Amino acid sequence: MQRTAPEGRGPVRYGPAAPEPGLPVLPELAEVLAAAAGRAHGEPPGGGPELREAAVGYWWRRGLRSRPAEVAAASGAQPLLFALIGAYGGDVLMPRPCPAWWTPQVRLLGRPAYHVPTPAECGGVPDPYALLETVRRVRAEGGEPRLLLLSVADDPTATVAPPETVREACEAAVGEGLHIISDETWRDTLHRPHETVLLSPAEMCPGDVTVITDLAGSLTPASWPVAVARFPPSDQGVARRARTLDILTALGAVVAEPVAAAAAHALGEPAPVTARAAQATALHASVAAAMHRAVLTSGALARPPQAGRHLYVDLGPLRARLAERGVSDSMELEDYLTDRLGAPVPGGHRFGDELGALRVRLATGPLLGATPQQRQESLTSPAPLELPHVAEALSILGTAFDELR
């Protein structure tokens, strides 16, 4: 994330990227990419047969039956979501807070974006009663709510929505005629996979849900952009996939063939890929838990992290001490903590939260080391929190928060 400029503190170009792993590329994936480096062309719009077949297998292993004709791929989650929103039409609803890149996508298309509060226990999924009230209000004002974006494993809150919450929210949305786009990028980064139940909206509303997954969540490096979408198995799904491909074609958002080869290999989930994913998730989980302990010790609030590589922190209880340092909103808090920690700390306003709420997203990646060697050591260590560079980074974070007690 670049620093914000005084003349423009909120432009998209200054917004935060998704949390990156900060880890070396898996050698096996690098070899697959290198072997395909001589391919000079891009994949066809929506992805070639090999990539789409691999995506089908990935979803079948998660209980979501698919066919290649119901899948589309693009060069990253941003152009893919942009194409999906364009294909489905209507006003868009999303939880508050939500991923930083969702709202700009909607507004770039000239659509209204309505943020709906989430329940107390999780983020990523709107409170069903608040959703119904928002739909009622939007329609009363002449709007056309047709699309709901949600994420059951959430960025920025790092929570996983309980199945009953997902069910109630989806039933409310479908009952009001909304189509659901479920971002499941972080579903394979559960910190306690044997204790956490993740329910995809597509499992309960198969005809009313489009699923998207950014492979950078757990399978490929963020610098190799590729994301895939699974459309409903219906005539309407076929039509909307065709419209999505039209938009992807117009954008030129095709996947490079070498990247497609590596992505297809990763989606096949051979043993080295799954082992690396599990190893990386365990590392980020341990660092996130340590960050959570430090935050709570200071008197700030945060839900326990359950997925991903981040933590969403509410410093509202420390408002008085922050005011003494000239911090009164999330923009000023972003600048203060970014300077104090030496790493980007995006404020909650970037995720659709109220400007006056003193919330930030902390990422685990910057704590894993400053060099490739340190990050590799963090990945392979049986006790990463005891490594000098990780312990020092956690100490700096803990001290920054302790100063506000």
Q: Give the C-alpha separation, 220 to 28, whole Å.
A: 11
Residue 17 has pLDDT above 80, yes or no: no
pLDDT at 14 (0 to 100)? 62
Smallest CA-to-CA distance from 313 within 340, 353, 343, 368 is with 353
CA distance 373 to 351: 33
Strand 227-230 and strand 209-214: the pairing is: antiparallel
Distances (CA, A) of 251 to 225, 245, 248, 401: 15, 10, 5, 44
User: Which pair of tokens denotes residue 114?
Assistant: 């309505």
Predicted pLDDT of residue 1: 42
Q: Give yes or no for residue 20 having a pLDDT over 90.
A: no
Mean pLDDT of the chain: 94
Q: Is the pLDDT assigned to residue 44 strictly greater than 80? A: yes
Instruction: Catalogue the E-assigned strands of 77-205.
Output: 91-96, 113-117, 145-150, 179-183
Mean pLDDT of 299-326: 97
Q: Cα torsion at 236, 241, 244, 245 (round to 10°)?
A: -140
Q: How far apart are CA 355 and CA 344, in angstroms?
A: 18
Distances in Å between the Cα of 153 and the Cα atoms of 162, 191, 309, 355 are: 10, 11, 11, 24
Q: How many beta carbons lie within 10 A of that of residue 146, not counting itself?
A: 16
pLDDT score recorded for residue 6: 43
Compute the average pLDDT of residues 56-60: 97
Which residue did the predictor score with more confidence, 1 or 92? 92
Q: Phi and psi of 346, rounded to 5°?
A: -65, 140
First to last CA, the chain: 28
Quick one: which of 19, 15, 35 has its CA closest to 27? 35
Give the β-pairing of 71-74 and 227-230. antiparallel
| 270-280 average pLDDT score | 97
pLDDT interval class at 22 (50, 70, 90): confident
Residue 338 reports pLDDT greater than 70: yes
pLDDT at 353: 96
Helices (H), 176-205: 201-204
Residue, of 8 and 241, whose pLDDT is higher: 241
Asked whether residue 40 carries a pLDDT value surpassing 90, the answer given is no
pLDDT at 42: 83
Q: Answer yes or no: are the C-beta atoms of 310 and 19 closer than 8 Å.
A: yes
pLDDT-based confidence at residue 21 (cuts at 50, 70, 90): confident
pLDDT band at 7 (very low <50, low <70, confident <90, very high): very low
**pLDDT reading at 272 higher than 60:** yes
Instruction: State pLDDT tens for residues 116-172.
Output: 999 999 999 999 999 999 999 999 999 999 999 999 999 999 999 999 999 999 999
Any residues with CB less than 8 A from the CB of 286 and at least 6 apart, and which? 384, 385
Q: Give the three-state DSSP class for 234.
A: coil
So what's the pLDDT on residue 19?
A: 76
Which DSSP letter does residue 138 get?
H
Read off the pLDDT band of 89 (50, 70, 90).
confident
Looking at residue 71, its pLDDT comes to 98
The percentage of the chain sitting over the pLDDT mark of 90, rounded to a whole number, equals 93
Across 368-388, average pLDDT: 96
Q: Is the pLDDT of residue 3 over 80?
A: no
